[in-house]
Structure 1
Amino acid sequence: MTEKEILKLVGARIKALRKEQGLSQEALGEKGGFHFSYIGQIERGEKNVSLLSLAKVANALEVNVAQIFAYAYEESEQIDVNIQDIVTMLRESSPEKVRVAKNVIREIVRGNE
């Protein structure tokens, strides 16, 4: 597993825990002493968060740090398979259908934030 994959898995786990508790990025940031944009960067796997900051995030989520690392690697593998299936379908499609699919995916992803 690459460093980037680990950051994305940890970020996705933090996002899932935050959403389970019904917290916005802003609310989690306030509880942990961070700016909401930093929380967003962590959740997207863009920041290599320090252990001390990770402990603060865990504390704000009212979980222990180990729970942040309780992501399922198998789930990641299934997601990779699904992404590969989508790429295969798009390669067999016309450029116009690829543009439409890109716009649809963009809207779906925006709805998850």
Structure 2
Amino acid sequence: MDEIAKQVGLRIRELRKARGLSQEALGEKGGFHYSYIGQIERGEKNISLQNIAKIAEALEVGIHQLFSFSYQLESLTESEQTIKEILTILKKIKPDQLVKVRNVLIEIFDDSN
């Protein structure tokens, strides 16, 4: 399949995981079978504009966010991908929760304690 299908599929997977949804849960929200979601995420399906709109609605994002990738996700190391996923989660939490996360990370990983 072409590169754009792979990139959109990876972006859908990223958004789905950031929202804590399984492929099955996303499929149910969008009216699709979970195997179809898997095929989209792997770039195996050429998804229609109507289905892109349904998936964006199920993910509660604007359609443009499904095309919001500025670099090749495939070229990221596993650690870089994990960091990107963590950042996606952190961007959604409240400021006071973010401070708590920072404090926990300092407590766990700060060698000076």
Regions of 4+ moved over 2 Å: none
Post-superposition shift, 1:71?
Answer: 1.1
| Residue in structure 1 matched with residue 62 of structure 2 by the alignment | 64
Structure possessing the higher relative contact order (Cα contacts under 8 Å, 6 or more residues apart): 2
2:48 to 28, 47, 50: 50
User: Which residues of structure 1 form unaligned runs of 5+?
Assistant: 83-113
The counterpart of 2:20, out of the listed 11, 22, 26, is: 22
Amino acid at match of 1:22: G
Percent identity (aligned) = 62
**Counterpart of 1:18 in 2: which secondary structure?**
helix
**CA offsets per residue over residues 31-75 of structure 1, 9 Å max, x none?**
0000000000000000000000000000000001000000122xx
| Equivalent pairs, count | 77
Within-5 A mapping of 1:22-101 = 22-73=20-71, 76=72, 79=75
Equivalent position amino acid for 1:40 in 2: G
Distance 2:73 2:27 in 1: 30
Q: What is the aligned-residue RMSD (CA, Å)?
A: 1.8
Change beyond 3 A, Cα 1:9–1:30: same
2:75 alignment partner AA? I
Unaligned segments of structure 2, at least 5 residues: 78-113
Taking structure 2 as the reference length, the TM-score comes to 0.64
Mapped to 1, the partners of 2:2 and 2:25 lie a distance apart of 26
CA separation of 1:43/1:77 partners in 2, compared to 1, >3 Å: closer, same or farther?
closer
Distance 1:21 1:42, change over 3 A: same
**TM-score, normalising length from structure 1?**
0.64
Cα distance, 1:78 vs. partner?
A: 7.5
Query: Is the 2:12–2:66 Cα contact (8 Å) retained in structure 1?
Result: yes
